[in-house]
Amino acid sequence: MSRDYPLEKVRNFGIVAHVDAGKTTTSERILYYTGESHKIGEVHDGNTVTDWMEQERERGITITAAAITCFWNPSYMGADTTHKHRFNVIDTPGHIDFTSEVKRSMRVLDGAVVVFDGVAGVEPQSETNWRYAEEAEVPRICYINKLDRTGASYEKSYASILDRLSTKACRLQIPIGAEGDFSGVVDLLNMKAYRFEGEMGKQVVAYDIPAEMMEDAKKYRAELIERIVENDEKLMNDYLEGKDIPLDILKANLRKAVIKNEIFPVLTGSSLKNKGVQLVLDAVVDYLPSPLDLPSAVGTNADTGAEEVRTASDDEPFSALVFKLQVDPFVGSLAFFRVYSGKFEVGQTVYNSANNKKERVGRIVRLQADKREDVKIVYAGEIAAMVGMKEVKIGNTLCDADHPVILESIIFPEPVVSMRIEPKTKADQEKMGIALGRLSDEDPTFRIKSDPETLETIISGMGELHLDIIVDRMRREFSVEATTGKPQVAYRETITGTADVEYKHIKQTGGRGQYGHVKIRMKPMEPVVEGEKIKNNVDREDHFEFINNIKGGVIPAEYITPIKKGLKEAMDRGVLAGFPVVDVSVDLYDGSYHDVDSSEIAFKLAAINAFQDAARLAKPALLEPIMKLEVVTPEKFLGDVTGSINSKRGLVESMGERGQAKVVVAKVPLSELFGYTTQLRSLTEGRAVPNLEFSHYAVVPRNVADEVIASRK
């Protein structure tokens, strides 16, 4: 069985933006214009396709990334319509608490449409999403939305992209009119004006550029062409000689530049008023890459560790990356995956190279947000979901057992907010464990642990809203009623000095005893230098480094791993207040053993005690999460806002302007920010808007640390 569409006509792209910039509204228009839905859903009516969860429709925000598949023929004349282009689109959340959804989506996407609010321009989460796209080297198209709104300004929004995101952005369109007079767009390459007529703006009508706009259009077209030809010497010479460069050559070179991240074309429109979305889809076809345009996926052989390359071809061995898990109330567990090479049929067995497990796949579905369409086979470049997989985790590689490969996984940020949770009844207690387990499988930034002293269950996430949604989902999807404590800060502990410790674990109980003897040196872990070669005796992980300097077998090799395990276990509970310990380097340099009494458990216990003794001597310190706080406020409240930040141990880093408003950027400890939104609203008559994003961990001041430590005891 062969595919019914060519791979060069596949586009895997995401729609990303700050919260409330119009991502979901744009996604709904894409579904409507591509014929996948016959009625446009609206966020304000709570009837959108991609925001299908009850919580999303109630709150008017996107919580979970939704995947949709649709087909598109370009709307311009002369387009090749032999095969429609297949779009696999992911509508991602914009709220910072659900930022991991964007990060994981970027890992499997080939391109992105970045949506901006025409009034606000670049906003905090726009910068975070842009950074994720930079890290993943994802080509981008910019779309300035909401130009029909009062206060909207294409030029100011465009300037904010150049100033805060990238100087590689370049106008591909300019708007006709603004605010209430916004009526269409001018395409600078085609030098045509477009308006959108008929039901829901379905008809794209081309006409001559209005005379009053012609001068601007010519000026901006010259800028665009200069950017396109600057990387091609022949084209540059032709342009400088005044030759007319054909449109198809300009488009082809612009496409190359976009795929190499050398140009980010800027388009414009109003999704809500049905203006401009079809031209965004045309730009996706013309400028964003197909799987064939991108470098091959690189992984490692699961057996030998050698580098393996997987080309986007149906004839290669099958390989796919799982990027999302979801519990569906109708079909059960879904494992979303992106196919990088090969093809896979229902009924075949897939090999999970992360855990060496094989599973037979009985059902594969193509995704339409919350609706499912069964498919018999998936090909390279597709995004789909397997139903009922039991042993799969996010970031696992699924592949052909005869050609095992491990593709690069997905790294997620650490949670910063914790709270206590307990079931209301005994019946809820039994169901709560299952519910929490399922939800943590779905969301790698949601963690569960048990406090060893109080035996309470502690849940951790990216913010208060994140944990609120988790508790709400437990109630609705799993029928678990639970009560929660106040949100708590996820503190960490570290060391600021060095220590040299010897510990002997000796226990005699009449029979065979226990004997483990270790000598360790502890110091703060130094930052990893890019490109640095790691020595053979150094085992480096996130926030922990283990150095094995045992010579001459003074501790037998079989006891080294238990010692490392003991050290790692001791890091789970610090010596100051019982918080996890981070960024520690431990050098095991000496010790001794007993022929009869030494055992793995004896050396593990010796390592745990040695670590605790060393941590007490190495100047332990408490760390707290510091947040980047951005507040957009009317100028008359600027003094009140900066005063409130200073009162919260905050440090104002910069003050700027956004339209008529002032923007304050500060670094503030998370512990001071619970309930800050309510306080800010009362200070500013509800007119200031805060945005929070995790920045880094920093040492807690002594007086605050003493209070935290006392409260833990």
Which residue would you say has higher pLDDT here, 22 or 504? Answer: 504
Tokens 């591509």 correspond to 34
Q: What is the mean pLDDT of residues 513-532?
A: 85
Residues 6+ apart with CB under 8 A from 483: 421, 422, 424
**pLDDT at res. 113:** 93
Is the model's pLDDT at 235 over the cut of 50?
A: yes
Lowest mean pLDDT among 37-51, 65-79, 150-164, 531-545: 37-51
**pLDDT at res. 304:** 82
**pLDDT at res. 270:** 92
Lowest mean pLDDT among 32-46, 217-231, 303-317: 32-46
DSSP track, 661-677: EEEEEEEEEGGG-TTHH
Q: What is the mean pLDDT of residues 377-381?
A: 90
Lowest mean pLDDT among 102-106, 143-147, 357-361, 551-555: 102-106
Q: What is the mean pLDDT of residues 266-295?
A: 92
Residue 202 CB neighbours (<10 A): 13
Q: What is the mean pLDDT of residues 16-26?
A: 82
**pLDDT at res. 6:** 87
Where b means 16+ CB within 10 Å and e means fewer, 13-46 reads: bbbbbbbbbbbbbbbbbbbbbbebbeebbebeee
Torsion of CA 533, 534, 535, 541, to 10 degrees: 180
Q: What is the mean pLDDT of residues 65-81?
A: 70
* pLDDT bucket at 293, cuts 50 / 70 / 90: very high
Q: Is 517 helix (H, G, I), strand (E, B) or coil?
A: strand
pLDDT tens track for 115-126: 999 988 888 778
Is the model's pLDDT at 22 over the cut of 70?
A: yes
Lowest mean pLDDT among 64-68, 214-218, 541-545, 565-569: 64-68
Residue 667: φ, ψ to 5°: -110, 125
* pLDDT bucket at 570, cuts 50 / 70 / 90: very high
- Name the strand (E) or helix (H) holding 114: strand 111-117
Is the model's pLDDT at 344 over the cut of 80?
A: yes
**pLDDT at res. 370:** 53
**pLDDT at res. 510:** 66
* pLDDT bucket at 302, cuts 50 / 70 / 90: confident
Which of left, alpha, beta for 8 (phi over 0: left; psi -120 to 50: alpha)? Answer: alpha
**pLDDT at res. 65:** 52
Q: What is the mean pLDDT of residues 2-22?
A: 83
Most confident of the following: 105-109, 241-245, 623-627, 655-659 = 623-627
**pLDDT at res. 60:** 44
Q: Is 527 helix (H, G, I), strand (E, B) or coil?
A: coil
Mean pLDDT, all residues of the chain: 84
Is the model's pLDDT at 61 over the cut of 50?
A: no
* pLDDT bucket at 48, cuts 50 / 70 / 90: very low
Q: What is the mean pLDDT of residues 22-51?
A: 63
pLDDT tens track for 161-218: 998 888 999 999 999 998 888 999 999 999 999 999 888 888 889 999 999 999 999 9
Is the model's pLDDT at 428 over the cut of 90?
A: no
**pLDDT at res. 115:** 92
**Amino acid identity, residue 326?**
Q
Is the model's pLDDT at 521 over the cut of 60?
A: yes
Pairing state between β 264-268 and 169-171: parallel
Which residue would you say has higher pLDDT here, 38 or 357? Answer: 357
**pLDDT at res. 290:** 92
pLDDT tens track for 608-622: 999 999 999 999 999
Would the CA dihedral through 36, 39, 42, 48 be positive or negative?
Answer: negative
**pLDDT at res. 45:** 44
**Amino acid identity, residue 125?**
Q
Which residue would you say has higher pLDDT here, 585 or 468? Answer: 585
Instruction: Say how far apart CA 92 and CA 55 lie, in whole Å.
Output: 15
**pLDDT at res. 81:** 60
**pLDDT at res. 333:** 79
Is the model's pLDDT at 40 over the cut of 70?
A: no
pLDDT tens track for 453-494: 566 788 888 777 788 888 888 888 888 888 888 777 889 999
Nearest to 570 by CA among 610, 619, 528: 610
* pLDDT bucket at 51, cuts 50 / 70 / 90: very low
* pLDDT bucket at 279, cuts 50 / 70 / 90: very high
Residue 392 is given by DSSP the state -
Q: What percent of the chain has pLDDT over 70?
A: 89
* pLDDT bucket at 308, cuts 50 / 70 / 90: confident
Strands (E), 18-172: 66-72, 85-91, 111-117, 140-145, 169-171
Most confident of the following: 237-246, 283-292, 380-389, 410-419 = 283-292
Nearest to 343 by CA among 320, 368, 371: 320
**Radius of gyration for the alpha carbons in the chain, expressed in angstroms and rounded:** 28
Instruction: Say how far apart CA 525 and CA 522 lie, in whole Å.
Output: 9
Cβ atoms of 485 and 496 closer than 8 Å: no
Residue 375: φ, ψ to 5°: -130, 150
**461 alpha carbon, distance to own chain's centre:** 14
Is the model's pLDDT at 229 over the cut of 80?
A: yes
Instruction: Say how far apart CA 426 and CA 431 lie, in whole Å.
Output: 9
pLDDT tens track for 437-448: 888 887 878 888
Paired tokens of 31:
């579904």
Is the model's pLDDT at 349 over the cut of 50?
A: yes
**pLDDT at res. 368:** 63
Q: What percent of the chain has pLDDT over 90?
A: 37
Nearest to 375 by CA among 365, 385, 361, 367: 365
**pLDDT at res. 70:** 84
**pLDDT at res. 75:** 67
Which residue would you say has higher pLDDT here, 209 or 45? Answer: 209
**Amino acid identity, residue 236?**
M
**pLDDT at res. 185:** 94
